[in-house]
Structure 1
């Protein structure tokens, strides 16, 4: 393992019943530290950049597929805006793809809910040792308390 990297070790929570309230010590402290590392407005701004990038990429792709084979324009006035789009559909598609990738990167910095954060940091184990992290329904109560029910 490299010196600068750290692995995310999932803590285990032993579940006693199919539905019960559990206190998870240190959860609210960990979630508050996580929220400090998130960017405010990243969800909206990242989604907006992704949507604009997708529209630009679709414009470039549609021009490649449905655009004309030849483009003629006046030497005196030059090409129109539409003719520029018809001349350069590949770079337009590439710019759209770069915007989608950038928007995805920004969107990933948004804050997730307490339930999603809890499932990413904790492994839920039944009494017989079975991992049921994907088969539970979580409801955040307050502080370090959750209601966990196995589906």
Structure 2
């Protein structure tokens, strides 16, 4: 655990890792169900108009796909959605864990000067830099009824800590 820092100690670089097994599982579920979905859709589009099945043995694997491509495609679509949901949940929990780690780095009750926000920059695999930056100028139309600035397009701004300090998440382009 890193020591808590004040505003004078910033910028600071730190390491933070989050288990990626959930992400790997989500990608695997999406990949497999995507392949099954693609095959089923191709069978629906280009499959045979009729199929002969043995009354004694029943359908073989390929005949089963030819007989029921719609239900197979539907099931694969549902499983693909489940994989997508797993990925979204993983990204959300990773973001929350990262923000929690940032909160633990800063002294409690830290107050930023007006028009300043924290900037968390991803430097590479598991490396981050936390610093203070001046807020971008917003026009009069970019505020909510409560008076807080609206998040500019393409930026990821969240509030951390008890004081709801604005934190912008950024990554360096490769």
TM bracket, shorter-chain basis: 0.5 to 0.7
Decide whether the 8 Å contact of 2:26 with 2:87 is kept in 1: yes
TM-score, normalised with respect to structure 1: 0.52
Decide whether the 8 Å contact of 1:63 with 1:89 is kept in 2: yes
Q: Give the structure with the higher percent helix.
A: 1
Q: CA deviation at 1:132?
A: 6.2
Q: CA deviation at 1:72?
A: 0.8
Relative CO higher for 1 or 2, CA cutoff 8 Å, sep ≥ 6?
A: 1
- CA distance in 2: counterparts of 1:103 and 1:56, whole angstroms: 14
Query: 1:23 and 1:60, CA in 2 relative to 1: closer, same or farther beyond 3 A?
Result: same
Q: CA deviation at 1:55?
A: 0.8
Decide whether the 8 Å contact of 2:121 with 2:171 is kept in 1: no
Which residue of structure 2 lines up, in the alignment, with residue 57 of structure 1?
Answer: 37
Q: Structure 1: which 5+ residue stretches go unaligned?
A: 1-21, 117-122, 136-143
Aligned length: 103
Q: CA deviation at 1:40?
A: 5.0
Q: CA deviation at 1:133?
A: 6.9
TM-score, normalised with respect to structure 2: 0.46
Q: CA deviation at 1:75?
A: 1.6
Q: Structure 2: which 5+ residue stretches go unaligned?
A: 1-8, 99-119, 123-132, 140-150, 156-166
Q: CA deviation at 1:41?
A: 1.7
Report runs of 4+ in structure 1 exceeding 3 Å deviation. 112-116, 128-135, 146-149
